[in-house]
Amino acid sequence: MAVPLIDRDDLDFTLWRVLGAESLTRYPRFAEHDRGTFSQVIETARAIAEDKFRPHAAKSDANEPRIENGKVVLIPEIGEALQAFAEAGFLAAHHDAEIGGLQLPWTIQQAAFAHFKAANTPTVGYAFLTIAAANLIHAHGSAEQKRLWMQPMLDGRTFGTMALSEPHAGSSLSDVRTAARQLDGDRYAIKGSKMWTSAGEHELTRNIVHMTLARIEGAPPGVKGLSLFIVPRYRLDAAGEPTVPNDVTLVGLNHKMGYRGTVNTALNFGDGDDCVGYLVGAPGRGLANMFHMMNEARVGVAFGAIMLAYAGFQESLEYARTRAQGRHPGDKDPTTPQLPLVEHADIRRMLLQQKAVAEGGLMLALDLALRIDRQKQDPDEAVRRHEALLLDFLTPIIKAWYSDRALEANHNAIQILGGYGYTRDYPVERIYRDNRLNPIHEGTNAIQAIDLLGRKAGIAEGAAFRAVVDEIRATLAEAEGKPELDALRRETATGLERLVATTETLLTAAPDIGAIRMLSNAAAYMDMAGLVVFGWVWLRQGLAALAELPQAAAGRPRDFLLGKLQTARYVAAWELPRTAQHAALLGSLDDTLTTMEASWL
Amino acid sequence: MAVPLIDRDDLDFTLWRVLGAESLTRYPRFAEHDRGTFSQVIETARAIAEDKFRPHAAKSDANEPRIENGKVVLIPEIGEALQAFAEAGFLAAHHDAEIGGLQLPWTIQQAAFAHFKAANTPTVGYAFLTIAAANLIHAHGSAEQKRLWMQPMLDGRTFGTMALSEPHAGSSLSDVRTAARQLDGDRYAIKGSKMWTSAGEHELTRNIVHMTLARIEGAPPGVKGLSLFIVPRYRLDAAGEPTVPNDVTLVGLNHKMGYRGTVNTALNFGDGDDCVGYLVGAPGRGLANMFHMMNEARVGVAFGAIMLAYAGFQESLEYARTRAQGRHPGDKDPTTPQLPLVEHADIRRMLLQQKAVAEGGLMLALDLALRIDRQKQDPDEAVRRHEALLLDFLTPIIKAWYSDRALEANHNAIQILGGYGYTRDYPVERIYRDNRLNPIHEGTNAIQAIDLLGRKAGIAEGAAFRAVVDEIRATLAEAEGKPELDALRRETATGLERLVATTETLLTAAPDIGAIRMLSNAAAYMDMAGLVVFGWVWLRQGLAALAELPQAAAGRPRDFLLGKLQTARYVAAWELPRTAQHAALLGSLDDTLTTMEASWL
């Protein structure tokens, strides 16, 4: 029997005990829902993920997309899985009922989608890009654009992409060169080359809509000159059908280490001067409008990384329970049976690291989803603002810190399986290769660290940072006097004070030492902030576990809660103390990286 | 132009300035050599590695070994490269002149071989396994076994393997079940299944010799019952030719994440009860005899990992120098040209981490090779014993610590290349996949950590540990009063004192708390010890650089030395402080891992 995609006990515990997600039904938008319908949606997702997504993950990896007769060929299971996804209504799940949606909270949609991420991230990628593209048009497009381009995405007739990067402009979007020349109204002639466009060409749907950054003739250089366009693969004919080729050329496919099922393309727009794009929103607002989506995309990337950690954890836990190998140190009697791997201390360390990242990450990702819901739905403006500030600060952390630690988790999963883990007979090596992408895309982790320290730590006169600090202090206060959480409470409190002092030091020094040096050690700042948040996450898990413990039945219910408390101990002993090192480096304004000359390397 | 496999300045600096390897010519065995002949050998290796090994590394990865008509098919370039390797005399390089060797010091042979590891580890693997197999027969075989089986390996007519693991016994060799029943003299009937045998079947050579662990009928269980056998693919006919099939069956190939050019096999011996093995050395001494070879193999694995770090460093450095992307923080003017990546602080951090591991690791690997030479050649017994003790303690460290850090280095190489680094158009993703094996084989890194703390820290009443501590203290004394190295000297000294105190605490507590708990945090002990050794390595590099600096010409010679000093600063600021965290965890005898119940996971 296959291992569970997500431990049901864990998801229930996180959603209903730690996060209290049922509270969402108080908001009028979700009033038709209750915990029963929420659970039903999640169960549907689990079933489709297990039946339609997981079974072809290995096959899809082994048979990567290729071009045949000018067309991109994917294994058929990808299309079948996505059809099941669309038929379940998941492409429109969070939208209004009146446009075919389920008016599902983002939180519940994300809890459902987590199963697809764990089952087969590359296949579900087509759907997630489509949802993101539809969201962009929903937020910034005209009524006609919504009707013509968004509506077909909600039922899966058209898929979407993000066409941002160019061959010379990967991280540096301010250098995008793709040009747009107005034809009439919102119609522009588009010309340029795009790189790294995922799902950029395929035959899964009749049409593909590329949400494209381009520069209108005469627009200023830099990000302020960028506008957002709908560039379809096919334009619509008089009958409204996508039959008119739109001069979008597939230049080639990128062949990746992992994540292979998601075809990744280099595209040319307007080689034959016949590519039309439709301006979305105001000219010059392209990147600004896109950033709204990008923040969700960053949490999405992190969530994907976390669910790969989760999948690797489940696989390696199952292996560690069933594979007998070796004996305890000191036990030299070779006639005794070998022990299951899980009995070895270092295997437990690697399982606990995975559990901490996977379950803690799942909780944080859903916590952020809940804040997105509250930020949009809460009647109290102070709540909305508070949640927005928290999201600002926590988004780069979940993206960078969790994608790094999730990859470490997958490393540990392989290590537990030993030689078998290095083979393609077990899924952990594929999971690891898939996950290696996540520290790179949607803004490299270095860029996230600069965003965190250079922007988020200081914005609104430090209000985002203070909002996070206040939340963590509230949790620390709650954990007072609970001996089971004492170690983690102390380490988190110490880490938090270090983070506060370091942030103060750096922001105060910035005018003197300049932005380059102030930001040069941002990677250390990211790890410190990530660790403090990690401590906070596990304190909340621990508090919820303690609250449940007295009434928990012996056996699995009780063991589950004790596992949470032990993971909190692991986080305190093995992870949090790293903040000391970062505080010293950052506090001293260490200039090793900035005094380095390139010629010395 | 391709990047250098190894920076010549760096190898020269390490061999002649830091290690003073010329001193080897004092030993009678190497008296025929001088620095000129040493350099010639190294240059020959470099040329063959560049011309014959590097060019097919990507092709070999993309076309992994397969079975066709019952035979293993490899791309032809593998055989051609290995032929060039054999023709240069490298298979016998360290052996006596009288058996066709060059009487080359191990140090110089390793410096030469480093180029093959950087160029194409999977292809050179066939040669290294053959050298190791020949060494085993050389050390423990009879005169006839040497003539019949070793000699053909020295000139490349026969290749060798290590057939140790079995499907149910990967790490736990004491559970090996392959059986041996004496026929007559040294001839035994062998029966059993072997797993993970690299180079276990191919058509590169007329014969293959499997150095096999098996249990003679009636031998005790556990490692003491294991004996070592030569099990050839073909037995020799009356004319001494390998024409008689020896009932060795290829069961299947393992399909790996990387390291694909080295075919990895599952083999059955004696399915038809006609498999003959020849006992090497005394019955029951199999594992003991093998461990001699295994220590060299462990350093070899580490050296391979380090050279993959070196290769990734060279590739990503070249990319960082030539790829323009982004601007400095605070520079908002999009009309200025983009900066080369190397100008960004976090890119420098990732380059310095790679440089520290790659160049420091190369030095440590050659330092250990030099100690192997001295241990064998030095007339002074005290020197021989001292070097043996150092090798004992440092072997698990170089294997585990450097293979972990080398993988981190390759992670950073990919990160520097961004999206391109994730594609198969650049070598860094392949290098990373190849390197993922190294923390697993030749004893997982967890096993190395247990070996270090459980055996090496205490053996000979702590003499091995004290020998290392004394060496490091001597280097610390040398670094006194040198401001350029002050930060690293202080951090290394602090780390060393923590290591000494922690070792004392653990060994003292062991009788009370028991071996299981004492060893449960061995991973933290390994990182602490590895860091201290890392500091020591970079102090020695720094001292040599300082000695050279006054007479170094401006430009590259001077820049090279300044780069060494800046890397020492990086190691002090970013790496060494981690020892504090480990000292606290280990010193408190933290029992998180041992109080965990498996059912809580």
A592:B569 CB<8 A = yes
Please give the average per-residue pLDDT across A467-495, as a whole number.
98
ipTM: 0.97
Q: Give strand pairing partners of B322.
A: none
Nearest 5°: CA angle at A71, between A66 and A74? 45
B1 — pLDDT class (breaks 50, 70, 90): low
pTM of the model: 0.97
The burial of A111, by beta-carbon neighbours within 10 Å (0-12 exposed, 13-18 middle, 19 or more buried), is given as buried
Q: Check residue B172 and give its pLDDT.
A: 87
Of A429, A442, A471, A575, the active-site residue reads A442
Among A257, A301, A321, most B C-beta atoms within 10 A, so best to mutate, is A257
- Summarised one tens digit per residue, pLDDT across range A211-252 is 999 999 999 999 999 999 999 999 999 999 999 999 999 999
Q: Check residue B2 and give its pLDDT.
A: 81
Beta-strand pair B264-269/B276-280: unpaired
Distance of residue B585 Cα from the nearest chain A Cα, in angstroms: 6
**Which letter does DSSP use for residue A192 in this model?**
E
User: For the CA atoms of chain A, what is the radius of gyration?
Assistant: 24
Give catalytic residues of B, as residue numbers: 442
Q: What is the longest distance spanned by two Cα atoms in chain A?
A: 85
- The counts of H helices and E strands in chain B are 18, 12
The per-residue pLDDT of chain B, averaged, comes to: 96
Residues of A within 8 A of B454 (CB-CB) are: 329
Please give the average per-residue pLDDT across B48-77, as a whole number.
97
A351:B254 CB<8 A = no
Token digits of residue A30: 């979700």
Mention every residue, 6+ apart, whose C-beta is less than 8 A from residue A201: A72, A208, A233, A248, A250, A263, A265, A267
Residue B258: what are its φ and ψ, rounded to 5°? Answer: -150, -160
Give the percent of chain A with pLDDT over 90. 96
Mention every residue, 6+ apart, whose C-beta is less than 8 A from residue A71: A203
* 3-state DSSP of A306-369: HHHHHHHHHHHHHHHHHCECCCCCCCCCCCCCCCEHHHCHHHHHHHHHHHHHHHHHHHHHHHHH
CA distance linking residue A226 with residue A288, whole number of Å: 9
**Which letter does DSSP use for residue B553 in this model?**
P
A590:B573 CB<8 A = yes
- Summarised one tens digit per residue, pLDDT across range A530-555 is 999 999 999 999 999 999 999 999 99
Chain A CA closest to residue B579: A581
Residues of A within 8 A of B62 (CB-CB) are: none
For residue B421, give the nearest of B345, B350, B349 by alpha carbon.
B350
Residues of A within 8 A of B411 (CB-CB) are: 407, 436
Residues of B within 8 A of A221 (CB-CB) are: 334-335
Lowest mean pLDDT, pick from A425-429, A505-509, B331-335:
B331-335
Across the interface, of B420, B449, B592, the residue whose CB is closest to A570 is B592
Residues of A within 8 A of B559 (CB-CB) are: 597, 599-600
B444:A415 CB<8 A = yes
Are A192 and A159 spatial neighbours (Cβ–Cβ below 8 Å)? no
* 3-state DSSP of B282-303: CCCCHHHHHHHHHHHHHHHHHH
Q: Check residue A1 and give its pLDDT.
A: 57
Residue type, B405: R
Across the interface, of A327, A423, A580, the residue whose CB is closest to B580 is A580
Across the interface, of A334, A351, A601, the residue whose CB is closest to B221 is A334
CA distance linking residue A181 with residue A138, whole number of Å: 24
Distance of residue A543 Cα from the nearest chain B Cα, in angstroms: 17
Q: How crowded is residue B244: how many other Cβ atoms within 10 Å of its Cβ? A: 14
Please give the average per-residue pLDDT across B27-38, as a whole number.
96
Beta-strand pair B71-73/B66-68: antiparallel
- Summarised one tens digit per residue, pLDDT across range A89-140 is 999 999 999 998 999 999 999 999 999 999 999 999 999 999 999 999 999 9
Please count the residue pairs, one from chain A and one from chain B, whose beta carbons lie less than 8 angstroms apart.
Answer: 277
Residues of B within 8 A of A174 (CB-CB) are: 334
B317:A601 CB<8 A = yes
B545 — pLDDT class (breaks 50, 70, 90): very high
Give the percent of chain B with pLDDT over 90. 96
CA distance linking residue B297 with residue B287, whole number of Å: 14
Q: Check residue A78 and give its pLDDT.
A: 98
B440:A165 CB<8 A = no
Please give the average per-residue pLDDT across A514-520, as a whole number.
96
Give the percent of chain A with pLDDT over 70. 100
Distance of residue A53 Cα from the nearest chain B Cα, in angstroms: 22
B222:A340 CB<8 A = no
Distance of residue B48 Cα from the nearest chain A Cα, in angstroms: 26
CA distance linking residue B102 with residue B42, whole number of Å: 13
Chain B CA closest to residue A253: B423
Please give the average per-residue pLDDT across B282-308, as a whole number.
91
A294 — pLDDT class (breaks 50, 70, 90): confident
- Summarised one tens digit per residue, pLDDT across range B252-289 is 999 999 999 999 999 999 999 999 999 999 999 999 99
Chain A CA closest to residue B453: A329
Q: Check residue A526 and give its pLDDT.
A: 98
Chain B CA closest to residue A407: B411
- Summarised one tens digit per residue, pLDDT across range A376-391 is 999 999 999 999 999 9
Q: Check residue A591 and give its pLDDT.
A: 97
Size (chain B), residues: 601
B581:A585 CB<8 A = no
